[in-house]
Amino acid sequence: MGQFIQYMINGVISGSVLALIALGIVAVFKATKVVNFAHGHLILFGAYFYFTFSVVLSEAAFMPDWIRSWDPAWLQAYAGDAAMFSPKAAIASWVSDLPRILLGLIGALAANAVLALIIERLVMRPLLGQSAFAMILSTVGLIWVLEGSAGLIWTAEAEQVPALGPNFPIRFELFDQNLFLFSGSLVNLVVALLLFASLMLVLRYTRSGVAIRATAEDQSTAYAMGINVPRVFSTAWLVASTTGAVAGAILASRNGLSPAIGLFGLSVLAVVLMGGLDSFAGVLIASMLVGILSSMAQWKLGGGVAEIVPYVAVLVVILIRPHGFMGQEEIERI
Amino acid sequence: MLSVTQASLAFGGIKALDDVSFTAASGEITAIIGPNGAGKTSLFNIISGFYKPQQGRILFDEQDITHLRADKRAELGIARTFQNIALFRGMSVLENIKLGGHTRLSTGFWSAGFFYGEARREEARLRAEIERDVIDFLELDHIRKAPVAALPYGLQKRVELGRALAMQPKVLLLDEPVAGMNREETEDMARFILDIQARWGTTILLVEHDMGMVMDISNQVVVLNFGRQIALGTPDQVQANPAVIEAYLGTSATTEATATEEPA
Amino acid sequence: MITGHFKTDYSADEGIWSNWPKRWGLVAALIGLAIFPFMASNYALLLAGQIGIFIVAVTGLNVLIGYTGLMSLGHGAFFAVGAYTTVAIHHEWPLTFPLITLVISTVVAAAFGVLFGLPSLRVKGLYLAVATLSANFIILFLIEQDWLAEWTGGVRGTETPNAVFFGIELVSQQAKYFFIMPVMVLMLLFAQNLFRTRFGRALIAIRDKDYSAEILGIALFSYKLKSFAISAAYCGAAGSLWAYFFPAILPEDFGLNMSITLVVCLVAGGMGRTLGPIFGTILILLVPEMLKVVAAAITGGDATSQTWVSPTRDILFGLMIIGFLIFEPMGLVNIWDRFWRFMSRWPFAK
Ligand SMILES: Nc1ncnc2c1ncn2[C@@H]1O[C@H](COP(=O)(O)OP(=O)(O)OP(=O)(O)O)[C@@H](O)[C@H]1O
Ligand SMILES: [Mg+2]
């Protein structure tokens, strides 16, 4: 029982990261009707950018010392002689990392945004109006372009990057069971869910949100109504790339920096289809489900099985409900 | 030949068909008319097997086909054309029409792959048949090799008719065969339809908004309005039916409207 | 040169080798294929064998994507099934006649094709792309499992057998070439024939307008599954040849990268055309070689070990997919057609 709850919690935490990744795929699909197979690699770039700004750049010679490691007197006083692995020590070390974490995040967001705009402008825009097949394939082509470029630019592998939040073990009791998790994971969970929720609010209540939804409903009508459709496209790609950058930072700090992040992102596509391509709610449910299932599989069957859980799950779901939990079926009038 | 009994079909709240019953007699032309959205295409869809009616039955040659798959119905001899042209756009006219022969051929995977032998003879036979019964008949000789996507609308409709004809069907469903055509093209099409009826004795169901054509060529007319069947009879009977006039012209017009009035 | 040709009966009009450039082109290509191994280096033969095998697989993919209009990003899996079936057969019965192994591997792959084609009955396009991609991951996962390791070698891969025909073991590149090429030519001709008859036309009809196909009496579900089976069978045959061709195989050889490479070859060559897979495969498999030559020229030495070669190749592949989709969606075959149209009118018109 204790184990079970423990793995449930782990599952929810990884589910929230899946949801954050899925968010980008859904946003782009809603606006542009393109399913971005390369979203995982956009995330990979986010992770590498985060590494570049928070590690490489912060250690560059021209950077002031306090960026590399902020060490004001009050922090020293606070840390005092805190024991290793104690919350206090973890928080103190996080605070001293904070400048470079922020530099990393801001840099990754900005760089990824630029990257997404370039992709949108140079690749997706010329293919506008082409078949779904061409769109899918061009994003598949992007996978290789991005992966290859990452391979050329960054040779770093399994590098350490600073986590977004302070990381210390938390022990607690639930239903009489001793459980435990890392505060870092908790921060990731909160960040992911907050981003997810706030983007849904933005979509619902802001002008550009309405524009995106209108475009999703019917592109040409939206155009006729004076909505700047190309701008909607760019906005969607911006949303995807920036949330992707955060996801990349989380993944890199959790599992280490490696090209495998791209493939992990690809597996989220399966999650998205399970939930229903155009439904944020469905995708959230699917993310949690896959997160939990993977975590359970890890517990009972080992890590290898956990990796293919999304793929098995999506096959099952597609056979039973072809358009996912909450996806809209496109009816073809004859 | 073909009869629909008490068929109903609903999409969510919309009743596309509501208790429709009629019989299309063998070798005759039955027209189905009604304002836009009346359920005419839906009726064709339940006959050809795209949708299953929630209630009612469809009999073909005394066989209950209500639950048969669309392709099985085609094998039995039900052919149709579509309101919005549904040709195979990547193919030539000839290839489109050849596909109509699908159910009558037997080449399977292996003989297709080895080709020389039975498959080749069958192809030659099909080609000769099509040339005679479809291409010559519908006067498509000059465009047989043309890609269909490049043809004008009227010709595309004719190719679609040809494709259905290549099935040598017993029942032919034509969904608005002359929509969007000029007078001359309409007359050609009407002539083709009558020729088909005369030459092969095909039972024809025809959805059409062109009242002139409907009244001229059909033996029986079914009138639908909001999914309900409001009249059934010969063209003359239907034209005189007040319910029909009302459906077409609105309530106020009932008295002034004469049976000869024809919406273009 | 005017290549106008007039037919006097319908069966001649149905022919596909009807004009002399086509007929002589075929003869010339066959002769070229036959004498190539006597003039080529071992390395060129290695490439040629690889290209031949890929052409078979891409032709299979063409049946599914190009002719039936169903997407797949998982055909590497069927390649794997073919290759591993061949290895497993030789593991159990080392002396099996290679053609029998080839046929069995093909049939087993076809069976897997049917299984993983099942989603195609309910979903199209993108959904199918993800379903097949999932199938790829799952099949490779199974191959890597310990309980199959006796036959598959698990994650570490396995050595593969050589084909033995009547006591002659095909060891040299040249000998293997003469095994691969006839199989390739026959399978190409088979595919070519398929699409001039009822069976192939039905698949094309499904691609162009599925509901129209249905009312013409084409049973969508059975034809879609057959299409999956055929395309998987071709990949299975390719996999079997692959196992005979290379000394060892690894599960990861058949992963997403291979699946996408197959699609890239198809897109570059031209979908729904017999020549497409041939042109596309030759182009795509030669790109890394050209890159090596360029790299050698730049660095002035052997560049195969340079770390930048492999990522650059990936980038080039990716750019080629995108480039073809944007600028030449019909692939190289279209350029080829344009060339011949031009030639057939020259010098009277442009
Ligand atoms: N697939 C579907 N899903 C939902 N509603 C449908 C569907 N097909 C038809 N309908 C609805 O059923 C009703 C009947 O449509 P149908 O196409 O049969 O009309 P029709 O008589 O053919 O009209 P028209 O003359 O415009 O072709 C309409 O209200 C239509 O919106
Ligand atoms: Mg209609």
Q: Tell me what pLDDT residue C8 has.
A: 61
Listed range (A196-210, B144-158, B181-195, C177-191) with the worst mean pLDDT: A196-210
Give the separation between CA A165 and CA A124, rounded to whole angstroms. 36
Cβ neighbours for B56, distance < 8 A, ≥ 6 positions apart: B4, B5, B6, B7, B8, B19, B20, B21, B66
B185 touches chain C (CB under 8 A): no
Percentage of the residues of chain C whose pLDDT score is greater than 90 = 46
The string of pLDDT tens digits covering residues B226-255 is 999 998 999 999 888 888 888 876 654 444
Listed range (A61-65, C102-106, C222-226, C322-326) with the worst mean pLDDT: A61-65
A137-165 burial: b if 16+ Cβ within 10 Å, else e: bbbbbbbbbbbbbbbeebebeebebbbbb
- What's the start-to-end Cα distance of chain B, in Å? 31
**How many angstroms is it from A218 CA to the middle of ligand 2?**
23
> In the predicted model, is pLDDT for residue C16 greater than 80?
no
> In the predicted model, is pLDDT for residue C299 greater than 50?
yes
Q: Where in chain B is the domain with CATH 3.40.50.300?
A: 1-77+169-264
Q: Tell me what pLDDT residue A40 has.
A: 94
Residues from chain C that touch A318, judged by Cβ atoms under 8 A, are 119, 122-123, 127, 130-131
Q: Tell me what pLDDT residue C348 has.
A: 65
> In the predicted model, is pLDDT for residue C10 greater than 70?
no
A308 touches chain C (CB under 8 A): yes
Give the mutation candidate from C62, C325, C330 for the A interface (greatest A CB count, under 10 A): C325
> In the predicted model, is pLDDT for residue A92 greater than 90?
no
> In the predicted model, is pLDDT for residue A228 greater than 70?
yes
**How many angstroms is it from B13 CA to the middle of ligand 1?**
12
B119 touches chain C (CB under 8 A): yes
Average pLDDT, chain A: 85
Contact assignment for A127 to C325 by CB distance below 8 Å: yes
Domain ranges of chain C: 19-255
C62-86 burial: b if 16+ Cβ within 10 Å, else e: bbbbbbbbbbbbbbbbbbbbbbbbb
Token readout for A261 is 């992040």
Distances (CA, A) of B262 to B72, B210, C113, C254: 38, 8, 57, 67
Q: Tell me what pLDDT residue C2 has.
A: 46
Residues from chain A that touch C314, judged by Cβ atoms under 8 A, are 144-145, 147-148, 151
Q: Is B39 close to ligand 1, i.e. is its CB under 6 Å away?
A: yes
Q: Is B44 close to ligand 1, i.e. is its CB under 6 Å away?
A: no
The string of pLDDT tens digits covering residues A112-171 is 999 999 999 988 888 877 787 888 889 999 999 999 999 888 875 667 888 887 877 777
> In the predicted model, is pLDDT for residue A78 greater than 80?
no
CA distance B107 to chain C (A): 6
Domain B1-77+169-264 has CATH 3.40.50.300: yes
Contact assignment for B115 to C209 by CB distance below 8 Å: no
All structural domains of chain A, each given as residue ranges with its CATH number in brackets, are 2-320 (1.10.3470)
Amino acid letter, residue C18: S
Q: Tell me what pLDDT residue C147 has.
A: 81
C238-254 burial: b if 16+ Cβ within 10 Å, else e: bbbbbbbbbeebbbbbb
- What's the start-to-end Cα distance of chain A, in Å? 54
C7 touches chain B (CB under 8 A): no
The string of pLDDT tens digits covering residues C80-97 is 999 999 999 998 888 788
> In the predicted model, is pLDDT for residue C1 greater than 50?
no
> In the predicted model, is pLDDT for residue A33 greater than 90?
no
> In the predicted model, is pLDDT for residue A326 greater than 50?
yes
Give 10-residue mean pLDDT values along chain B (264 residues).
92 90 93 92 94 93 91 94 92 93 80 74 87 91 91 92 94 92 90 94 93 90 92 90 80 45 45
Contact assignment for B107 to C226 by CB distance below 8 Å: no
Amino acid letter, residue A250: I
Q: Is A333 close to ligand 1, i.e. is its CB under 6 Å away?
A: yes
Amino acid letter, residue A115: L
Give the residue ranges of DSSP H helices in chain C: 10-14, 20-39, 42-61, 76-92, 98-117, 125-144, 149-152, 173-194, 198-208, 210-215, 220-245, 256-269, 275-299, 309-327, 332-345
Q: Tell me what pLDDT residue C155 has.
A: 79
Give the separation between CA C348 and CA C350, rounded to whole angstroms. 7
